[in-house]
Amino acid sequence: MAAISLAGCALVSPFSLAQSSASIEAIDSAANTMNVASLKQLSQGFEASYASAYANYRLAITANIMGQRNTAMQALELSQSQLEQILTTEERPEPLALLASVYGMQIAFDSSKAATLGFKIAKLLSQARALEADNPRVNLVAAISAFNTPSLFGGGMDKAISLSSQAIEYYAIPCDDICWGHAEAYTWRGLAKQELGDIAGAIADWQQALVVDTQYGWAKFLLSQQSQHKQSQDVHSAAISK
């Protein structure tokens, strides 16, 4: 695990290090192409900063999809430690929301952590909203949390759709620094619609995700998966009609 420079923190806020939109865009580009090697390099290319924590977060997601669970766990733990370090010196909505999402991934890896981390997620998102209620990523992470939380415990698909719709609305606010998640918001809303049986609505959202970001790999995959499913149904229907 990379050491965090306390001397550097004394000179400049860790949140303000390497915060250019180019850094975030490079990370998103690597994640879109499932480039684990590039994400590893990017996660080590910044000092202890939000950008570094975000790179590790995307590395964790990508490595997990690629079946590299150990790499995913290590990246997630590093992202957590970096964000927690940032928040000891400066409480801001972006690291609060990202840490909430990191905790959510940890629950996905180990459901026994839900009782303790679920409370922390709710607290982090509450703090983030108090600081910046119209932050789109705060609402996106809240939508993801609602998607993965039963309605009995305050989550559910309807809430996920509502929160992701609010996030999409807030993405219209001009952004020139930390701007990730717009296409992701459409994708999660589409997934929630799919869960409720609204396949046409889901497809429309995934298509809109590609309007926002033509290289967004997850939306491409979901649309391809849906197309294959429809083709399979058509073949089955044709066989029955003969």
CATH number (domain holding residue 34): 1.25.40.10
DSSP 216: -
Residue 98 included in any domain: yes
- Residue 65 located in a structural domain: yes
Residues of the chain with pLDDT > 70: what percent? Answer: 85
Over residues 18-51, the pLDDT tens digits come to 455 678 999 999 999 999 999 999 998 666 689 9
Residue 15 resides in a domain: no
Number of structural domains found in the chain: 1
175 occurs within a structural domain? yes
- What are the tens digits of pLDDT across the range 169-213? 999 999 988 999 999 999 999 999 999 999 999 999 999 999 999
> Does residue 119 form part of some domain?
yes
Can you list the pairs that 87-94 forms with residues at least 24 positions away whose Cβ atoms lie under 8 Å? 89/9, 89/13, 89/14, 89/15, 90/13, 90/14, 90/15, 91/127, 91/131, 92/15, 92/131, 93/128, 93/129, 93/131, 93/132, 93/135, 93/137, 93/138, 94/15, 94/50, 94/135, 94/137, 94/178
In a domain, 115, yes or no: yes
Q: What is the pLDDT of residues 143-156, one digit of tens each?
A: 999 999 999 999 99
Domain residue limits at 104: 20-241
Does residue 221 lie within any of the structural domains?
A: yes
Return d(Cα 6, Cα 17) in angstroms, integer.
Answer: 13
Is position 34 within any domain? yes
Nearest CA among 227, 221, 225, 226 for reference residue 34: 221
